[in-house]
Amino acid sequence: MLQALVANPCVRLLDRNRQAWSFTFLVLGYLFYLVFGAVVFSSVELPHEDLLRRDLFELKRRFLQENECLSEERLEQFLARVLKGSSYGVSVLNNVSGNWNWDFTSALFFASTVLSTTGYGHTVPLSDGGKTFCIIYSVIGIPFTLLFLTALVELIIVYVTRRPVLYIHSRWGFPKQAVARIHAVILGFITVLFFFFIPAATFSVLEEDWNFLESFYFCFISLSTIGLGDYVPAEGQNQKYRKLYKLGITCYLLIGLTVMLVVLETFCELQELKTIRKMFYRESNKDEEQEDIMQHDQLAFASISDQVSSLREDLKLNEPFVTLQPAPNYFFDSPISHEQKDNM
């Protein structure tokens, strides 16, 4: 029965194109996960949005009833202007109106969010010159940031991951893969503790309107470079040491992003993840590539040799026939030789 199953053309087709089928299932799984997220977000957030809309419309209706001298058209014009300014990071509220968005520390924080592609969106360029410079600055700065982070991560991971794992493996003889797994878990735990839980507790104390969940949410959204912009620190009224606070947040984002990349690279070097990756694409092998190149060169040289041989044969067939006359033998046929023979 197993032989018949193996001989089945469908089974052989699946086995022959295993990577293609695996990649197809990967795409379908990703699309399903995408749709699943949309369904969950819609079912969870839509009732809250509807409730907020009802509250705002009721608030607007009450405000117009209490202020009959103000028309609805003028109120909407005022609100539209205020909301447009708020989208540019400028608010008329008393609790945030004293904070400037483009002092040096705020501009440094904005530059770090642009280069790290976090982009909270709470502060945006207002002028055409600022928008133009932001485009040019991002075109040059984002690849430069990727190059810098790649070089930095490759330097750090040698001392944080590869050397410790190799030392424990060679010093005590533990299996290298087991040491790598334990090391990755410990490194991930330390990262979550020092870059998520402790900063979240700190933000929940420094930000009056944030609880621990909202602070943890900000840390995750920031270090994963999602940057929704619904929570931005150091924007409250009368924030103490606001410039120093902004500078500290900038350092936290850059260092945290580097650590996150180191942790991700550590997990990607695990053998289990490499095996999963091989299910979906074929990793290039330098030896196989060199062998293919040598075979290709040998075939090319062989074809050139065959062409040269055929060309020589064609030249021989096309050249005219020439009858070669025998060369005269002066040594035996000359008279001098006969006289010498008689004298002898």
Q: Measured between alpha carbons, how far is 81 from 249 in angstroms, rounded to an integer? A: 31
**Residue 310: band (very low, low, confident or very high) from pLDDT cuts 50, 70, 90:** low
Q: Which two tokens stand for residue 12?
A: 């052989």
pLDDT for 223-277, tens place per residue? 999 888 888 888 766 677 888 888 999 999 999 999 999 999 999 999 888 888 7
Closest CA to 215 of 237, 198, 236: 198
Q: For 53-94, how does the pLDDT look when each residue is reduced to its tens digit (9 = 90+)?
A: 999 999 988 988 888 888 888 888 888 888 887 777 777 776
What are the structural domains of the chain? 101-281 (1.10.287.70)
* Both structure tokens of 25: 């299932």
Work out the number of other CB atoms within 10 angstroms of the CB of residue 227.
Answer: 20
Chain centroid, CA 309 distance in Å: 53
- How long, in residues, is the chain? 344
Percent of the chain topping pLDDT 90: 45
